[in-house]
Structure 1
Amino acid sequence: MKISGSVVLFHNKKEEVLKSIRSFLNTELDAKIYLLDNSFVDDLKELSAYDQRIVYTFNNINLGYGSAHNIAIKKSISDDVHYHLVLNPDVYFERGVLEKLISFMEKNKDIANVMPNILYPDGSTQYLCKLLPSPVDLIFRRFIPLKAWKEKRNNMYELRFTDYKNIMNVPSLSGCFMFLRIEALKKVGIFDENIFMYLEDVDLNRRLHQKYKTVFYPAASVYHAYGKESYKNKKLLMYHIRSAIYYFNKWGWFFDSERKFINRRTLNVISNE
């Protein structure tokens, strides 16, 4: 069983990235991990000396999140890899997680993407299972200062009412940890490179969800520092807004019949399980 992974770098702390790399390579599987460095200098190149299974690429330009990951995904497709993990540099996990996910995917050939339980370092749950977003979810929910309304909206949009205890087929899963079936990517495509940063995961997962299941699997867990940087950095906020505009221009703003159908179906299935 061949698996690959990719981590996009941009002036990250070496200790943090190394923790993520070690998590991925702590396995007996036939594994390879790609480090795609979007930094302006190649200071992180020394990370490749840690293990011969690391492939470092210095892009010498900030290509964006999805475009950089696509470099590794294309190589994995050409190498006939079975599964590819899109991994954030601030995610780490225990030995055995990859094997558990592979076992689950091998038993369920209709699944294209699986996301484990994503936890904060203190062990609390990150609510990263979501319905397909509307403009209300991505724009108004952020800027309207109505706490009670936001909590009610989040309870539904982020499926918090489920308590994240059971396996769920979810149309939008976080890009911090995407365990992808290569055969599905061959049919559906890879990240949309028109999206520089933010929502490329929503877009790809939506396309996968049209033809396969995209599943939350709580029997496996990983840890994610999750800084919500676009809430702190105005430049990143602008990237987020531009991505949202592109996404809604592509799929539909307030009139998106497929979104309405998929979200209603998701809620109906989850409520009846």
Structure 2
Amino acid sequence: MITASIVTYHNNKEELKKAIYSFLNTDLEVKLYISDNSSNKDIKQLCSDSRIEYIYNNINLGFGKAHNIVIEKAMKEGSKYHLILNPDIYFNNGVIENLTKYMENNKDVGLVMPRVLYPNGDIQRLCKLLPTPMNLIGRKFIPIKSLLEKLDYKYEMQFTDYNTEMEVPYLSGCFMFIRTSIFKEVGCFDDNIFMYLEDTDLSRRINEKYKTMYYPKVTVYHKFEKGSFKNKKLLIYHIKSAIYYFNKWGWFFDKKRKEINKEILNKNNYKKI
């Protein structure tokens, strides 16, 4: 069985309907969990399909913690693969089938992310190196555009063509197709991270034991908005998460991060600009 979880918080219902339909539009055995952090049950009306289980949390638990409730259920119910899915993602029939086949053929892969496009067809640069403090905190306060572009060129792996399958140490939490059994080895999302960087942390833990892969032969669409760049409250969440993340893994002296990023850069023929 393939399971998926969508965490909701007063989301746009039309966008959510597209995400739900995208996942359920398959002949495979699937089950979708809606983990609702909203202050009401308005979203429940969209969960009439027998393959959907609605979970009302009655409080905003945050992204990772709300997904963890589902992951625990999925493991108990014998899920083979689990999809972390954002409510503003949509895709065509065949995506789940192709990713399942990819995982079946690559037993050393624990996590895979497809090509992610904006609705207009532009690529989203969601393949990233393990972040440094400059990538996550410093860049928000740097007014020099040329320096920001140089940082992102390396951090977002813009030096690759994004058309080639490659191992990536940090894959976006908007669409994470994961071998469910590995949660028993590496754990779920870190409950201490309310929002932002929970995907970084989980990707890194998975990458310590399995390959974490970008697979561009499969495409999904993501109506992505950088909320922390527009909303002061979300920016505070982002900064708090970054501080927690670096306290956990290391700020400027993170030897493992340096080794992993160096290996990825070498594999992909990185050249400075």
TM bucket normalised to smaller: over 0.9
- Residue identity in the other structure for 2:129: L
Q: Does 1:132 align with 2:144?
A: no
Which string of whole-angstrom CA distances, capped at 9 and with x for unpartnered residues, describes residues 158-195 of structure 1?
A: 00110101011000000000000012112111100000
Q: Which residue of 1 aligns with 2:63?
A: 65
Structure 1: how far apart are the matches of 2:93 and 2:163? Answer: 22
Q: Which residue of 2 aligns with 1:47?
A: 46
> Aligned-pair distance for 1:152?
1.2
> Aligned-pair distance for 1:143?
1.5
Q: Which residue of 1 aligns with 2:91?
A: 93
- Residue identity in the other structure for 1:46: Q
Q: Which residue of 2 aligns with 1:22?
A: 21
RMSD value, Cα? 0.8
Structure 2: how far apart are the matches of 1:124 and 1:140? Answer: 27
Q: Between the two proteins, what is the percent identity of the paired residues?
A: 58
Q: Does 1:118 align with 2:116?
A: yes
> Aligned-pair distance for 1:250?
0.2
> Structure 1-normalised TM-score?
0.98
Structure 1: how far apart are the matches of 2:215 and 2:183? Answer: 20
- Residue identity in the other structure for 2:130: L
2:208 to 210, 227, 233: 210
> Aligned-pair distance for 1:55?
0.5
Q: Does 1:249 align with 2:237?
A: no
- Residue identity in the other structure for 2:3: S
Q: Which residue of 1 aligns with 2:179?
A: 181
Secondary structure of the structure 1 residue equivalent to 2:269: helix
Structure 1: how far apart are the matches of 2:149 and 2:235? Answer: 22
Secondary structure of the structure 1 residue equivalent to 2:185: helix
Structure 1: how far apart are the matches of 2:77 and 2:178? Answer: 15
Written as runs of structure 1 = structure 2, the 5 A alignment for 1:167-246 is 167-246=165-244
> Aligned-pair distance for 1:107?
0.5
Secondary structure of the structure 2 residue equivalent to 1:161: coil
- Residue identity in the other structure for 1:110: D
Q: Which residue of 2 aligns with 1:159?
A: 157
Count of aligned positions: 270
Secondary structure of the structure 1 residue equivalent to 2:257: helix
- Residue identity in the other structure for 1:221: T
Structure 2: how far apart are the matches of 1:30 and 1:217? Answer: 23
Structure 1: how far apart are the matches of 2:170 and 2:112? Answer: 11
> Aligned-pair distance for 1:270?
1.8
Structure 1: how far apart are the matches of 2:154 and 2:243? Answer: 23
For structure 1, which runs of at least 5 residues remain unmatched after alignment? none
> Aligned-pair distance for 1:27?
0.2
Structure 2: how far apart are the matches of 1:232 and 1:204? Answer: 26
> Aligned-pair distance for 1:269?
1.4
Structure 2: how far apart are the matches of 1:131 and 1:74? Answer: 28
For structure 2, which runs of at least 5 residues remain unmatched after alignment? none
1:77 to 72, 75, 78: 75
Secondary structure of the structure 2 residue equivalent to 1:201: helix
Q: Which residue of 1 aligns with 2:11?
A: 12
* Dislocated runs of 4+, deviation >6 Å: none
> Aligned-pair distance for 1:245?
0.4
- Give 1 or 2: higher helix fraction: 1
Structure 2: how far apart are the matches of 1:227 and 1:162? Answer: 23
Return 65-74 or 147-156, whichever deviates more: 147-156
Structure 1: how far apart are the matches of 2:36 and 2:52? Answer: 13
Secondary structure of the structure 1 residue equivalent to 2:163: coil
Secondary structure of the structure 2 residue equivalent to 1:194: coil
- Residue identity in the other structure for 1:69: H
Secondary structure of the structure 2 residue equivalent to 1:162: coil
Structure 1: how far apart are the matches of 2:163 and 2:256? Answer: 27
Structure 2: how far apart are the matches of 1:150 and 1:238? Answer: 20
Q: Which residue of 1 aligns with 2:141?
A: 143
